A and B are shown apart, each in its own frame.
Chain A
Amino acid sequence: MTAGPKLILSIFCLLLLSQLSFAAGTWMNVAALAVVTSAIILAIVYMLGVGFDVNELKFLAHEEVYQLLATIIMIGVLAGAQAWLDSLTPGLGLPGGLSFQDGSLSVLSNELANQKNAYDGLYDFSVGLGKQSSKSYYCALEGVGFTANPCNSLRALVSPVSLAFQALSLSITELNSLTTLLNFSKQYAFALLLPLGILLRTFKITRGAGGLFIGLGVALYLFLPMAVLFMNVVLDPGNAGYNPHFGSAPTYGYGKDDLTLPSASCDETKFGTFGGGVSYDNLDTATAEFNALETKINVYVYLFLIRGTMTTVVGLLTLYASLRAVSKLAGAEIDLSALARVA
């Protein structure tokens, strides 16, 4: 088949796809514009090749027609995928029949609310802990006397609290990055990145950049929310993936009560008895607090490491893998190892 009939075939395919443009929104219009522009340029190149009998130009036109066909097929597949996913979302059981994008955003929003409760719980505990552990008792007369810090033993909890804050900080930052990426994808992936990618892909010299934009648009819009929803389904207490080790199954959202840690308390005057013995009142209180903390610690670890960090890691890995695969499919082979390493 020569380039002429191929071009006609391409335009015919485009006309067939045009009926999808109502379903897919603005991006299809821009994509159609890009394809038509490319077809016109190719026609000119082919005409020049025939007119001046330059084989290189004719060969270039032949090669590019295949690329044009590939672009049109890609547009069709993407429009179909978008429609299929939109039809799939009601079956996912997301609250209020949310769309694919909104569903994943809702999941992350709940996770961030949980993290906020955990942060507040830990913060409140720290405020009490710091104050109680700083208490000291002093007695002096004419420059002679003593100071006792019977509550200082509570400082033993400072290191684990510090570690918990660091883990929580990472978890919050990661989850919020993921939320921002999802928000960005909802707003721009199919509205800007994908059509721009299709536009750039139609020209040989910008095919690499176009492939990247297409890959980015698709990976952000389709694969990233999919990974978030997948993780949510796996980690849902009602599913087999949930580890029953955590005792009473935590609900989907952790309320503030679930994450409230026992208040630290200490009486600085109870450091000894009048008979010269040692008072164990504070020690008993501290032991009771440590025991109470132990029952909460698994919830915290689950929140920080599984719900926060692991969800983000799976999401980002899916993003990189899909970005690389789709970009390659769209004609741009990008070494994203550097980006993965940075993130």
Chain B
Amino acid sequence: MAVINFCLPSTPYKRCVPKPFLGGVVSGFTCAPPAIRGILRPSSASLFGIALALLLLLTAGVSFADDGAPPGTIVPPPPPPICDQVSLAGIQQGIYPLVAVAAVFMSVIIGISYMLGSLISNPKLTLWAKTEIIQLFISLASVAVIFSGISASCSINMVDVHDLFGLGALTTGQASFSMYSAAEGYLVDSGTYIHMVLNSARYHLGAYNILETFGRYLCMGDESGWVSGFINIIFCLFGNFLSVGGGTGTSVNPDSGHSLAAPALTVAFNSLQFSYLSALNYLFILKYIYSGFVLFFLPLGIFLRSVPYLRTLGSLLISVAFCFLTVYPLVLSVFYLDLIAAQSVLKPDSPALLFAYEDVGSKVDLGNMFSSSIYGDVFMGVGDQGFEVIKLAGNCFLMGVFIPTLALLSAAAAVTYVNRFLGEEIDLSRIVQMV
């Protein structure tokens, strides 16, 4: 099983362990199991079947596996089902007859309207028919454009894009991956990285609790050193009986001061949690776009756009489907080029990641009975990395919230332009405010 190496191979913080993320391991995506993928191929245009497939896909969630790539490499997720030639052909087989039915239906209405207009010499009707015939051709052309766009997005190799712009070395072990895979890879990689930082923050908060409650009773001597510690224990146990102490002394929590830094980590922890949930949210939106938009919004939009008086709604659905299938993944995939870069800016290496999968509860044992401090044991000799965790929380916010929101807003902005291209004007400002 391959492992995503979140720490750069040359750094001393290489403690990378595969951990479950969304029900799998972090090392990449696989498609849903074959049985589910089979359902995803719509052999008929049944809306019920499409809805069922969509539901199953969402329930299946995201699963991960890999193809045996060597450690230190990132394996991007494979292309989504819409890029699978068989599935794409299946979708087209489902949509093309629907488009043909809509076109014939519309042609009949236009023909009747034109004949009626000629018969009663009503220029309004004939003009309407002439306008509609152009719209019919636009609708048919838009189907071709949309599927060309999807095919292009599937075939764009982001490694080639990376090479075209002369960017630095990549860590990916795969020679090619599509724009869709890169977009998905961005969100998965972001989520996994944020999860690691979140774990590190959780470790620190747990450590502060342990440090806070560690107390010592000093019945004799000072609080430092092994010998003093031992003498203290003897006097505490037997001093009362021997009347040489034991009943008098000082109690102290020598490490409790570390816990005063907990509020700083709590702020970072809250921010990290928000970033993590945001990354997951955007990932599910992307998964829905890959399935629901193609299987439901697009055919419905194409059909409705061919029906008189429902053109506005149809255009909107087509624009939304097209933009969210192209612009949203495009923006995410561009940022993915940094995540797989040898020197990632957004996802830097840090000593704080050392604590990502450590168990803070196992760091203190009976052997610490004679210790004057357990700080060194709890923080494994490298010290408190709270400052680093707080710093990384800023990166995680950018990765999990800022960039995906930017991608979503750009897709929403593109909807307006594409809709204008299709001949309709819409105001999405209210919807954008909901983001």
Chain A residues in the interface with B (C-beta under 8 A): 26-27, 30, 112, 116, 119-120, 122-123, 126-131, 133-141, 145, 158, 161-163, 165-166, 168-170, 172-177, 179-181, 183-184, 187-188, 191-193, 195-196, 204-209, 212-213, 216, 268-269, 332-339, 342-343
User: Closest residue of chain A to B392, judged by CB?
Assistant: A176
Given contacts A176-B392, A184-B345, 10 further A-B contacts (CB under 8 A): A130-B253, A165-B260, A168-B264, A169-B265, A169-B268, A173-B267, A176-B395, A192-B167, A209-B414, A338-B433
Give A136's nearest chain B residue, CB to CB: B251
Q: Mark B320-341, 1 if CB is under 8 A from A, else 0.
A: 0000001100110010011000
Q: Is B387 close to A, CB under 8 A?
A: yes
Q: Shortest Cβ distance from A161 into chain B, in angstroms?
A: 5
Given contacts A134-B256, A145-B247, A177-B394, contact A183 B345 (CB under 8 A): yes
With A162-B263, A333-B413 known as contacts, the answer to whether A172 contacts B394 (CB < 8 A) is yes
Task: Determine how close the nearest CB of chain A comes to the CB of B325; give it in whole angstroms.
Answer: 12
Give A193's nearest chain B residue, CB to CB.
B334
Which 4 A-B pairs have CB atoms at the shortest separation, nearest pair first?
A130-B257, A126-B260, A176-B394, A127-B257
Of B263, B410, B418, which one neighbours A166 at CB under 8 angstroms?
A: B263
Kindly identify which residue among B166, B398, B410, B421 contacts A334, using a CB–CB cutoff of 8 Å. B410
How far apart are B393's CB and chain A's nearest CB, in angstroms? Answer: 5
- Docked CA distance A145–B401 (Å): 58
Judging by beta carbons under 8 Å apart, are A162 and B260 in contact? yes
Residues of A close to B266: CB separation below 8 A: 166
- Asked if residues B338 and A187 are in contact (CB atoms below 8 Å), the reply is yes
CB distance from A148 to the nearest CB of B (A): 10
Q: What's the least CB distance linking B206 to chain A, in Å?
A: 17
A126 contacts B249, C-beta separation under 8 Å: no
B406 at the interface (CB under 8 A from A): yes
**What are 22 pairs between A and B in contact, CB < 8 Å?**
A126-B257, A126-B261, A127-B255, A130-B258, A130-B260, A133-B256, A137-B249, A166-B264, A166-B267, A169-B268, A170-B267, A172-B390, A176-B391, A177-B395, A181-B398, A184-B338, A205-B421, A206-B327, A209-B410, A332-B413, A339-B402, A342-B401
Tell me the B residues contacting A by CB distance below 8 Å. Answer: 145, 164-167, 212, 215, 240, 247-268, 271, 326-327, 330-331, 334, 337-338, 345-346, 384, 386-387, 390-395, 397-398, 401-402, 405-406, 409-410, 412-414, 416-418, 421, 428-429, 432-433, 435
Nearest-CB residue, chain B, relative to A158 = B260
Distance in Å from the Cβ of B431 to the closest Cβ of chain A?
10
**A115 CB to nearest chain B CB (Å):** 8
Q: Which residues of B contact A26 (CB under 8 A)?
A: 165-166
CB proximity of A188 to chain B, nearest CB, Å: 7
Please, which residues of chain A bring their CB within 8 A of the CB of B412? 335
B390 to chain A: which residues have CB within 8 Å?
169, 172-173, 176
| Residue among A119, A122, A170, A180 with max Cβ neighbours from chain B (10 Å) | A180
Distance between A36 CB and nearest chain B CB, rounded to angstroms: 15
CA–CA, A60 and B270, complex, Å: 51
* Chain B interface, DSSP helix/strand/loop, else mixed: helix
Residues of the B chain whose Cβ atoms lie less than 8 Å from the Cβ of A123: 258, 261, 384, 386
Partner of B418, one of A139, A187, A205: A205
With CB as the reference atom, state the residue of chain A lying closest to B268: A169
Q: Is the CB of B432 within 8 A of A335?
A: yes
Q: Contact check: which of A128, A138, A183 meets B251 at CB < 8 Å?
A: A138
Given the complex, which residues of B lie within 8 Å of A120, measured CB to CB? Answer: 387
Q: Is the CB of A172 within 8 A of B346?
A: no
Interchain CB contact under 8 A, A184 and B395: no
| A135, B250: Cα distance in complex, Å | 7
Q: Which residues of A contact B432 (CB under 8 A)?
A: 335, 337-338
Give the CA-CA distance A216 to B412 in the complex, in Å: 16
User: Chain B's nearest CB lies how many Å from the CB of A187?
Assistant: 6
Picked from A139, A207, A269, A339, the residue with its CB within 8 Å of the CB of B406 is A339
Within the complex, the shortest CB–CB distance from B116 to chain A, in Å, comes to 27
Chain A residues with CB below 8 A from B331, complex form: 209, 212
Contact: B251 with A135, CB < 8 Å?
yes
Residue among A192, A216, A333 facing the most chain B CB atoms (10 A cut-off): A192
* A131 B413 Cβ-Cβ under 8 A: no
Query: Are A172 and B391 in contact (CB-based, < 8 A)?
Result: yes
Which chain A residues border B428 with CB–CB below 8 Å? Answer: 335
Report how far A27 CA is from B413 CA in the complex, Å.
25
Cα–Cα distance between A195 and B161 once the two chains are bound (Å): 11
Closest chain-B Cβ to A102's Cβ sits at a distance in Å of 14
A165 with B257, Cβ < 8 A, contacts A139-B248, A338-B405 known: no
A141-B334 in contact given A129-B260, A173-B391 (Cβ < 8 Å): no
Of listed B215, B251, B330, B421, residue having the most chain A CB within 10 A: B251
Interface residue from A112, A139, A161 paired with B247 (Cβ < 8 Å):
A139
- What CA separation (Å) do A27 and B267 show in the bound complex? 40
Check B409 against A338 for contact (C-beta < 8 Å): yes
Inter-subunit contact A165/B263 (CB<8 Å): yes
B337 interface neighbour in A133, A177, A192, Cβ under 8 Å: A192
> In the complex, are the beta carbons of A131 and B252 less than 8 A apart?
yes
Tell me if B252 and A134 are in contact (CB < 8 A).
Answer: yes
Q: Which residues of A contact B248 (CB under 8 A)?
A: 138-140
Question: Quick one: which of B254, B387, B394 contacts A174, CB cutoff 8 A?
Answer: B394
- Report the Cα distance A33→B245, complex, angstroms: 88
When the two chains form the complex, which single residue of B259, B338, B387 contacts A119, counting CB atoms closer than 8 Å?
A: B387
Chain A residue nearest to B348 (CB atoms) is A180
If A129-B260, A205-B417, A208-B410 touch, whether A173 touches B394 (CB-CB below 8 Å) is yes
Q: Which of A140, A169, A184, A342 has the most CB of B within 10 A?
A: A169
Considering the complex, give the chain B residue whose CB is closest to the CB of A186: B345
How many whole Å from B414's CB to the nearest CB in chain A?
A: 4
Shortest Cβ distance from A128 into B: residue: B257
Q: Chain A contacts of B413 at CB under 8 A?
A: 208-209, 212, 332-335
Given contacts A166-B264, A188-B338, A209-B327, contact A131 B253 (CB under 8 A): yes
A131 and B405 in contact (CB under 8 A), knowing A176-B391, A187-B338, A208-B417?
A: no
Known contacts A168-B264, A176-B395; A137 and B250 CB within 8 A of each other:
yes
> What separation, in Å, do the CA atoms of A165 and B205 have in the docked complex?
14
How many angstroms between the C-alpha atoms of A213 and B335 in the bound complex? 12
Residue of A with least CB distance to B248: A139
Give the Cβ gap from A109 to chain B, nearest Cβ, in Å. 12
Residues of A near B251 (CB, < 8 A) are 134-136, 138
Q: What chain A residues lie within 8 Å of B418 (beta carbons)?
A: 205, 208
Q: Which residues of chain A come closer than 8 Å to B165, judged between CB atoms?
A: 26-27, 30, 191-192, 195-196
CA A205 to CA B325, docked complex, whole Å: 13
Q: Which residues of B lie under 8 Å from residue A342 when comparing CB positions?
A: 401-402, 405, 435
